[in-house]
Structure 1
Amino acid sequence: MSDVYLNSDSLFSKFGFCDGDVLDDWMFSHTREHTFDLKAVPGSSVGYFGFEHALLIRLVRKYLLTVAPRPIRTYTIGSIHNPIRAEDDETNDFFVEVRLTYDQVEAEAVLLAAQEMV
């Protein structure tokens, strides 16, 4: 099980967070285990983003933005690319990277799935 790395530079690029696919390996290994079906969230408000991008947005907000040396204003965009980006007038004047364990990502996925099923 591999860790997931999120870095602040990704906030400033359409292709950031591995073009929005940084969770692909995690999703593949998790769904292969059949722990629960992460993609089957009926009536989900995740909607346009899909579960994987909604989870990425949640992880960035909770783990990356909270350790940035200053507040970064972001917006979300329904896209096949990076779904969370810094506002255009923000400057990329620092670098922060966080490492999330498989268990941390799983815990956030479970919480997101539970919220969406209510």
Structure 2
Amino acid sequence: MTIDIQPEPAIELDADSLNSKWGFGDGDALSDWWWDNFDEDIPYPEDDVLYALVVEYLKPRLRAAGWDVNLVRIETIHNPVRAESINGREVDWYASSSVEYDPKITVRVTRSQIDDLMSRLGYDTNQQDRSTK
């Protein structure tokens, strides 16, 4: 008997998205991924989750690769988490290639990691309505 174990779905976050107004799927990558994989709306505030994931997982990877990234959160219908400056240089969110990461820098994060992070940040991860702290 063969048991086919599927890996837990993971969202891939890329450093290039920090440099664009339209990054992270124009701000919808997380909610789209959540819906596609779990057939429900994300149970946390999307912008809070995305920012927390970038700080917890992507920024350390950038730092390890020698990139000093200053993040900013923006209230917008587009990408809410962006690099304000990289290695002291201001980022132009409208330029197609203001910074080139070579090699590309990405992280993969699972729902378990998201739930764990949100729990550590004080969000209720056990209730049906988990949209508030």
Structure 1 counterpart of 2:105, from 96, 100, 118 = 96
1:52 Cα offset (Å): 0.7
Unmatched segments (≥5 aa) in structure 2 = 1-7, 92-97, 125-131
1:83 aligns to 2:80 (yes or no): yes
Unmatched segments (≥5 aa) in structure 1 = 40-50
Runs of 4+ with >6 A deviation: none
Match for 1:9: what amino acid?
D
Normalised by the size of structure 1, how large is the TM-score? 0.72
Structure 2 counterpart of 1:71, from 58, 68, 71 = 68
1:2 Cα offset (Å): 2.2
For 1:56 and 1:30, the matched residues in 2 are separated by 19
Report the counterpart of residue 11 of structure 2 in structure 1. 4
Match for 1:13: what amino acid?
S
Decide which structure has greater strand share.
2
For 2:119 and 2:50, the matched residues in 1 are separated by 13
Indicate the RMSD between aligned Cα atoms, in angstroms.
2.3
Match for 1:104: what amino acid?
Q
Report the counterpart of residue 43 of structure 2 in structure 1. 38
Higher RCO (C-alpha under 8 Å, 6+ residues apart):
1
Contact 1:26 1:102 in 2 (8 A): no
For 1:26 and 1:110, the matched residues in 2 are separated by 20
Equivalent residues in 2 for 1:42-61, closer than 5 Å: 51-61=45-55
SS in 2 for 1:23: helix
1:106 aligns to 2:115 (yes or no): yes
SS in 1 for 2:13: strand
